[in-house]
Structure 1
Amino acid sequence: MSQDRLRTAVLGLGAKGQQLLEIAGQTGLFDIVAVADADLELAEKVALRYKAEAFDDYRQLVIQNQINLLLVAEPAYVCGEHIRKAMKKKCNVLKLIPPALDFEQAAELVGTAKSQKVRFATANIHRFYPGFRKLKEYLESKHTKDINLITAVKNLPKDIQHPGRDRWLSDPQLAGGGVLLRNCYEIVDLIVGSFGIPQQVYCVNTNQAPDKQQRLSITEDTTVLTMKFSDTRVAGLVASRVFGPTRQMLQMHTENEYLTASEDNLTVWDNLGNVIERFQFESSETEATEEMLENFAHTLLGPDKNPIGSEENSILHNMAVVESAYLSARTTMPEEPAKILEMAKKALANI
């Protein structure tokens, strides 16, 4: 491995993939040697900018290149096998969220990374927005046991303006899930990362398909998820990619005050609505993505100075909660993420 740059390839050159590639190139920490997309003309056009090799066959990109890092901007149903193959060539993987179709695939990928002694991580930029970073610092300085209620809302009604786009997102076999998995993974990560695995989850999912049979055969566009952490702490998440207005909100309540957090703001209020503390920041998706990429690159280039964290554990924890939520939606009963996680730990212990 180079002392200061990672030999890097990119799978998927959609809008998100190109954005990730452009920001990676600007950091100076990534040597882009290959790019791939199903559209070979697009891949060749992008490759010219980086003097890289272009592919429309993802398998061949992995086989023909000796790389340190694979940036994955394709859905898991397209690239799961290629991710495993790359890991077996001692290549680290950074994937756009969500990390996998379901918990089983996530556990398999984490297990492969562990056996090959490489990193498997998600490009979770929410952690690098200044508002959410300040939230983490604030919670670390307080007694989180005093927080009794967590509420979150995420609405993305703009998606209905493009009903023909990405039809695979409605197919449970290809997408893995709907708004909960694909649009709320980062919120689940923020909650679970702050308070640990909930004891129980209960979930109700629906969509706006015109008849019951169709509703049962496509992914959810609206979800209500309740998480019980203890007898005195619960969390609720309501999300939709149909109903407006566009909104993302995270609140945490104690007996005497509550706080609201977003990408660029953290505000603490008393129960009468008076501001106790307010932290306002300048933020952008580009800046958060750049910081995320730099952070990940430094963990690979200088692991002694930048110890590797527990990202793989976070993936398993988050996906266990999501998997339990989907199970609960099917059984109409509360489910326990710890049971799903325990099965994975037993399997990983044998690797």
Structure 2
Amino acid sequence: MALEEVFSHFTRRDWEEESPDGTVRLAVVGVGGFARQRALPAIAEGRYCETTALVSGSPDRTRTVAESFDVPRVLDYVEFLAGDHADTYDAVYVATPNAIHGEYAVAAAERGAHVICEKPLETTRERAVGIVDACEAADVTLMTAYRLQTEPTIRRARELVRSDVIGDIVQVHGGFSHPLLEGTGPDTWRLDPGLAGGGALVDLGVYPLNTIRFVLEDDPAGVYATTHSSGPPFDAVDEHVAFQLEFANVATASCTASFDAHASSQLELVGTEGKIHVESPFGGVVPQEMVVESGDVRMEYTGPRVDEVREEFDYFGYCVLTDTEPEPDGKDGLVDLEVIEAAYESADTGCRVELE
């Protein structure tokens, strides 16, 4: 594959093979900051989904949000679980704290609604299996909300790796840090292990973990991890984490994540014949900057930003409308939880943990 071919159609939607009619009506379950600031605008700007209901623990306050996005209905959690107005949506987007993903995803699936659920699917792999089983039993689409799998820069990186442009992958470096307390207070649910299932690894480290698996199209055979917390308010979860993934093809991936460091993210893949560097892939808005070295050739791409959240919801809607299985399905989410649990085991024991 010539580099010019990749760069000339950089933002193409290679997954969009047809133009289905209609839209998927979405109920957004959990109207927190990300849902208000990123998801709802992205759905409104997209092509294949529309928001027809909001589900919130504070329906009176949520009505203002509903009005600003022209959403016709607001439900509380009790009404949603009871199935009230279930005929007004075809699918749900679950954006609640991690520990209650399963409750709302399973309830939706049992009523025949498709599900797009924020990562991680649940706080443990065992609990997430309940979501996967419920969606399979109901024959509805389940997508784990890994938006970077629909983001053009990451998809182009996978194409380059597939085409051996940089040879065999030997090393991958991925990192994501974000000063959590700058945007929230110390009472945020992300610092409650019962609600979050973990700390920096679960909330931030899952981005390089899943993205590396996606780009390499492979799952790790082993993991070694260390965690550190300096004290309150991070004493109940991992404030910082470093983990190494080992793949059967001899590639290794070194990853870091932090709740208490300058905002930064990076992804670099080093092969036997070159390397790929993606600028700031995990920070929420990928700047569409990539540097590729292949032998003696070095090329840089810089293009207009693409809203990966819009791409994510359009991809989900497209999959539902065309009866296509999404790549970041429920089983993809289960693998990440298996790796996360093994990483925590490694951090506790100080030993490498093998993965099936």
TM value normalised by structure 1: 0.84
Pairing of 1:122-137 with structure 2 (within 5 A): 122-137=144-159
In the alignment, the residues of structure 2 paired with residue 127 and residue 117 of structure 1 have an alpha-carbon distance, to the nearest angstrom, of: 23
Change in CA separation of 1:201 and 1:3 when aligned onto 2, cut-off 3 Å? same
Partner of 2:250 in structure 1?
232
Question: Which of the two has greater helix per residue?
Answer: 1
Pair 1:13-2:34 in alignment = no
Partner of 1:77 in structure 2?
99
**Aligned partners of 2:166 and 2:274 also within 8 Å:** no
Pairing of 1:1-351 with structure 2 (within 5 A): 4-18=22-36, 19-48=38-67, 49-60=69-80, 63-64=83-84, 65-66=86-87, 67-142=89-164, 146-157=168-179, 159-162=180-183, 164-195=185-216, 196-209=218-231, 218-230=236-248, 232-244=250-262, 246-262=263-279, 263=286, 264-269=288-293, 276-284=298-306, 287-303=307-323, 306=324, 308-309=326-327, 311-338=329-356
Q: Deviations over 1:301-330 (max 9, x none)?
A: 122xx5544622311222221121112112
Q: Deviations over 1:157-205 (max 9, x none)?
A: 3x23356255322221111011111112221111112331111101101
In the alignment, the residues of structure 2 paired with residue 255 and residue 165 of structure 1 have an alpha-carbon distance, to the nearest angstrom, of: 45
Moved more, 55-64 or 32-41: 55-64
Structure 1: runs of 5 or more not aligned: 339-351
Structure 2: runs of 5 or more not aligned: 1-19, 280-285
Change in CA separation of 1:254 and 1:236 when aligned onto 2, cut-off 3 Å? same
Partner of 1:348 in structure 2?
none
Q: What secondary structure sits across from 1:232 in the alignment?
A: coil
Question: How far off is 1:92 after superposition?
Answer: 0.8
Question: How far off is 1:113 after superposition?
Answer: 1.1
Question: How far off is 1:61 after superposition?
Answer: 5.7
Q: Deviations over 1:132-175 (max 9, x none)?
A: 12101111111787111111121213x23356255322221111
Q: Deviations over 1:84-138 (max 9, x none)?
A: 1111111111122222212122222112111111122122221233221210111
Change in CA separation of 1:233 and 1:86 when aligned onto 2, cut-off 3 Å? same
Q: What secondary structure sits across from 2:83 in the alignment?
A: helix
**Aligned partners of 1:267 and 1:275 also within 8 Å:** no
TM value normalised by structure 2: 0.83
The letter for the 1-side match of 2:115 is V
The letter for the 2-side match of 1:114 is E
Q: What secondary structure sits across from 2:260 in the alignment?
A: coil
Question: How far off is 1:269 after superposition?
Answer: 3.5
Moved more, 50-59 or 328-337: 50-59
In the alignment, the residues of structure 2 paired with residue 114 and residue 107 of structure 1 have an alpha-carbon distance, to the nearest angstrom, of: 10
Change in CA separation of 1:145 and 1:88 when aligned onto 2, cut-off 3 Å? farther
